[in-house]
Chains A and B, each alone.
Chain A
Amino acid sequence: QKEVEQDPGPLSVPEGAIVSLNCTYSNSAFQYFMWYRQYSRKGPELLMYTYSSGNKEDGRFTAQVDKSSKYISLFIRDSQPSDSATYLCAMRGTNAGKSTFGDGTTLTVKP
């Protein structure tokens, strides 16, 4: 079983749609949860991070963590064509530096 499983996509939505991106994990040691955005042939860019279960909102983005279910989500409201990218979930445990990534979900927002 992979430590981090991400809904594979690809995902194609019309502009203005609400997007839900999801990951599950198996390692209970993961305590820090991140979402990265990666444009083609670029490095990952941190979008959001959270430590605890619950929701964290930043503009059109909401990160949700449910530690009891080992499930995290990223919601994008009012999606824009500029949101088109690959979204990566990532997690860290007590080994502070190492991030474990999901496979990524490629999102296309059509005008």
Chain B
Amino acid sequence: EPEVTQTPSHQVTQMGQEVILRCVPISNHLYFYWYRQILGQKVEFLVSFYNNEISEKSEIFDDQFSVERPDGSNFTLKIRSTKLEDSAMYFCARSLAGGMGETQYFGPGTRLLVL
């Protein structure tokens, strides 16, 4: 099974600070996703990304969030001004193609704690 890696594994930040979470690519996977899971709650879709554009985003993905592939390699999620309620596990997922039946491979997650 293809391996998705994420950095950092843990991030502690002060409210109002910017954080960048990174997802390391699988070479031939072109579709990228971010999900989050607040402690004790369900996994929630944030955004999907293909060909350097957002394909779809949820209502959670507001103006504080952005995604990009800055060097055509790593896929990043930026939170501009973190809030306490942004504390969660953030999972990157990738798939080879974007069809409904495509398997999304999840990374191990970044645990973000906003103080």
Interface residues, chain A, CB within 8 Å of chain B? 31-32, 41-46, 49, 51, 88, 90, 92-104
Taking a contact as CB atoms under 8 Å apart, the answer to whether B108 and A49 are in contact is no
Name B33's contact: one of A31, A51, A88, A97 (CB within 8 Å).
Answer: A97
Residues on B with C-beta less than 8 A from A46 are: 103-105
Which 5 A-B residue pairings sit nearest by Cβ, starting from the closest? A43-B106, A97-B48, A101-B43, A96-B100, A103-B42
Cα-based distance from A95 to B102 in the complex (angstroms): 12
> Nearest Cβ in chain B — how far from A94, in angstroms?
7
Residues on B with C-beta less than 8 A from A100 are: 45
> Nearest Cβ in chain B — how far from A92, in angstroms?
5
Cα-based distance from A32 to B102 in the complex (angstroms): 10
A-B contact pairs, 22 of them (CB 8 A): A32-B100, A32-B101, A41-B109, A41-B111, A42-B108, A43-B91, A43-B108, A44-B43, A46-B103, A51-B101, A88-B43, A96-B98, A96-B100, A96-B102, A97-B48, A97-B56, A97-B98, A98-B56, A99-B43, A99-B45, A99-B104, A101-B42
Cα-based distance from A96 to B96 in the complex (angstroms): 13
Residues on B with C-beta less than 8 A from A104 are: 42-43
Cα-based distance from A6 to B25 in the complex (angstroms): 32
Taking a contact as CB atoms under 8 Å apart, the answer to whether B48 and A98 are in contact is yes
From 45 to 71 in chain B, residues with beta carbon under 8 angstroms from any chain A beta carbon are 45, 48, 55-56, 58
Chain A CB within 8 A of B28 CB: no
Taking a contact as CB atoms under 8 Å apart, the answer to whether B100 and A43 are in contact is no
From 78 to 115 in chain B, residues with beta carbon under 8 angstroms from any chain A beta carbon are 89, 91, 93, 95, 98-109, 111
> Nearest Cβ in chain B — how far from A58, in angstroms?
14
Taking a contact as CB atoms under 8 Å apart, the answer to whether A45 and B106 are in contact is yes
Taking a contact as CB atoms under 8 Å apart, the answer to whether A101 and B100 are in contact is no
Residues on B with C-beta less than 8 A from A101 are: 42-44
Name B103's contact: one of A31, A41, A49, A103 (CB within 8 Å).
Answer: A49
Cα-based distance from A56 to B108 in the complex (angstroms): 27
> Assuming A49-B101, A96-B102, A98-B58, is B42 touching A43 (CB within 8 A)?
no
Taking a contact as CB atoms under 8 Å apart, the answer to whether A44 and B106 are in contact is yes
5 new A-B contacts, CB < 8 A, other than A96-B102, A97-B56, are A41-B108, A44-B106, A96-B99, A98-B58, A100-B45
